[in-house]
């Protein structure tokens, strides 16, 4: 089989390759805020998903309703010390929650095996810290997924939506040009990251933060509701600039011939309108 024109894929983790619905961060964030007597809604927790967790906490505290709730409870606005306190509270919760949500999303291992058979290098990036990834890396490897590099939150000067994590992954892989590489993510900040890095971007809608349901709850939806929720999430990823949006990584295999053709013909990421492939 001929080598692919695609040089590398850089995959996100939660909501993309593991943890259908991207549930672990919500559980951990809600628990950490509850320790301070603050109720964090699921919508608030998901609004900035994909960011490094300290930046995620900062964003939650910076706007209402959480900002007003914090002021009402403490008589002052949140500061750096409060952000540090919450981050220290969330880290052990994230480690515990992440360890419970390690199941690979269907089709992930099959896709990676196919890509590797075509000479495509496999990198990854995450808004989780290295300590949060411990159990995930072991469990994912046991299920057949072990990327060549893992770039974690805090390992670059800035996290998403900056391109630095994707660039670091490509540097570690020794791969260029970025225009022959693909970033896959379920979060808007991850799509922005890929666009800023100069890669092709693929958004995954059904399995990710936009729908925000675990696999059992997702499959329990009636077909009309399921379609509506996936379409809404997909539209948001498309609006963020994704070149393609699919339901899950299982659907990426069907895009490969088209992607390879576009790269071979010198077409650049973002040159054409994004496409929904649901």
Q: Does the N-terminal peptide bond of residue 177 adopt cis geometry, omega within 30 degrees of 0?
A: yes
* Other CB atoms within 10 Å distance of the CB of residue 113: 12
Residue 121's beta-bridge partner residues? Answer: 8
Name the catalytic one among 7, 12, 48, 251: 12
Name the catalytic one among 7, 19, 48, 53: 53
Rg of the Cα atoms in the chain = 18
Starting at the earlier edge strand, list the strands of the sheet with 244-246: 149-151, 121-125, 8-11, 181-185, 200-204, 244-246, 275-277
Whether 53 is catalytic is yes
DSSP string for 134-171: HHHHHHHHHTT---SEEE-TTSSSS-TTSSHHHHHHHH
Distance of alpha carbon 274 from alpha carbon 251, whole angstroms: 16
* Other CB atoms within 10 Å distance of the CB of residue 196: 19
User: Where on the phi/psi map is residue 154: left (φ > 0), alpha (ψ -120 to 50), or beta?
Assistant: left
Whether 84 is catalytic is no
Positions marked catalytic: 12, 53
């Amino acid at each position: 089989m001929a080598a692919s024109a695609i040089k590398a894929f850089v995959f996100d983790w939660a909501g993309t390759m593991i943890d259908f619905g991207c549930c672990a961060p919500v559980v951990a964030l809600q628990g950490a805020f509850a320790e301070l007597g603050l109720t964090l809604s699921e919508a608030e927790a998901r609004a900035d998903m994909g960011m490094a967790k300290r930046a995620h906490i900062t964003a939650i505290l910076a706007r209402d309703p959480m900002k007003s709730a914090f002021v009402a409870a403490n008589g002052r606005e949140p500061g750096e010390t409060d952000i540090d306190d919450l981050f220290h509270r969330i880290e052990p919760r994230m480690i515990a929650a992440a360890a419970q949500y390690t199941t690979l999303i269907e089709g992930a291992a099959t896709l990676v095996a196919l890509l590797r058979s075509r000479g495509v290098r496999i990198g990854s990036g995450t808004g989780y810290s290295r300590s949060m990834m411990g159990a995930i890396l072991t469990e994912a490897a046991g299920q057949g997924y072990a990327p060549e590099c893992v770039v974690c939150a805090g390992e670059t000067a800035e996290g998403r939506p900056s391109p630095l994590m994707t660039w670091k992954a490509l540097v570690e892989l020794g791969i260029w040009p970025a225009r022959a590489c693909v970033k896959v993510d379920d979060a808007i900040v991850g799509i922005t990251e890929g666009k800023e890095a100069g890669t092709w971007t693929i958004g995954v809608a059904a399995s990710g933060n936009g729908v925000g349901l675990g696999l059992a709850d997702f499959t329990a939806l009636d077909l009309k509701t399921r379609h509506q929720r996936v379409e809404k999430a997909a539209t948001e990823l498309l609006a963020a600039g994704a070149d393609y949006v699919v339901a899950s990584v299982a659907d990426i295999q069907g895009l490969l011939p088209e992607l390879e053709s576009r790269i071979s013909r010198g077409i650049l990421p973002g040159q054409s309108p994004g496409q929904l492939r649901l």
